[in-house]
Structure formats: structure tokens, C-alpha cells
Amino acid sequence: MRRMHFSHGSKEGPEINLIPFIDVLLVVLIFLMLSTTYSKFTEMQLRLPVADVEAQRDYPKEVIVAVSADGRYSINKTQLPDRSVETVAAALGTAANGGKDSVVIISADASAAHQSVITVMEGARRAGLMQITFATQSAAQAGR
């Protein structure tokens, strides 16, 4: 009589193959990336700037720069002759009574072009004025 020896297999647990799982996740990720559209952000109507401010600070050495909706500049209620960065920088340098410690307050119209505000910031940098802030109105004032 012959005895049969059955092998019980290896004592290791079953092996989990992750490669098909990763392949499926990559396909889902690619599908989501291709099907997502970002053009909806350009269709939004934005009304800026409005902010609720607890208390406004009073700056003794402030230079107020107003930017109109059509891109004209006014520094301390004096309108600039043109819209170049050089003109803005020269006017900011002249208006800064406190020197390099002066604070530039940009009061831009809600519908002013982004480039107009960037031009003021670049002019302030060229004039050596590094403290810049933005004027806003509260939500209650915006509703009037």
C-alpha cells in the first residue's frame, strides 16, 4: 500500500495584484481631467471690491491712488496726464511726503481693468514705495 502525500501549498497568503487597480484609477483620472471644463469661470459676473471692515486704519503718510473704470489715474485728487508706468511712478514719488514709509492706498473702481491696478503697483515699486493696500467698501455701502 502506497501512501499519497498531498501538498498543502505554500503557507503564504494570497497575492493581491495592484496593477489592474492602478490602471483603472488612471483611466478614471484621465477621464475626469478631460471632461472637466474651466471655461465656466469666465462666464461669472463679478462685482468687486466689497469687504466688511471692522475698523479702518488712518495712515498719516498715505498716498491715495484712484483708478477709474476706464483706466484713468488720480493721485491725491490730481489727475495724471497719461497712463504710463513712468508717469505713475514719478507722480507717486512726488506725492510720497513720508518718503519710503508712505502707504499707497489703491482705490480702484469695481470694473477697472486688472492691468490698471498692476500698473499702479509697478509704479509704486519703481518709486520705492513697498507698503500697498486696497480701499474697499462695506457690503452695506455697496447696496446704496
Range with the lowest mean pLDDT among 4-8, 11-15, 61-65, 105-109? 4-8
- Where in 1-125 does DSSP place strands (E)? 62-67, 73-75, 78-79, 103-108
Question: Domain range for residue 86?
Answer: 62-142
The pLDDT tens digits for 17-75 are 888 899 999 999 998 888 876 554 444 455 556 565 555 555 457 888 888 888 889 88
Q: How confident is the model at residue 97 (pLDDT cuts 50, 70, 90)?
A: confident
Q: pLDDT tens digits, residue range 15-26? A: 788 888 999 999
Looking at the domain assignment, is residue 17 inside a domain? no
Q: How many domains does the chain have?
A: 1
Kindly state whether residue 52 falls inside one of the protein's structural domains: no
Asked if the structure places residue 28 within a domain, the reply is no
Which pLDDT score is estimated for 26? 94
Q: Is 4 a residue whose pLDDT tops 70?
A: no
Judge whether 85 and 119 are in contact, CB under 8 Å.
yes
Three-class secondary structure of residue 107 per DSSP? strand
Domain for residue 82, yes or no?
A: yes
Residue 92 sits in a domain of what CATH number? 3.30.420.270
d(CA 144, CA 131): 31
Tell me whether residue 6 is in a domain: no
10 Å CB burial of residue 126 (0-12, 13-18, 19+) is: middle
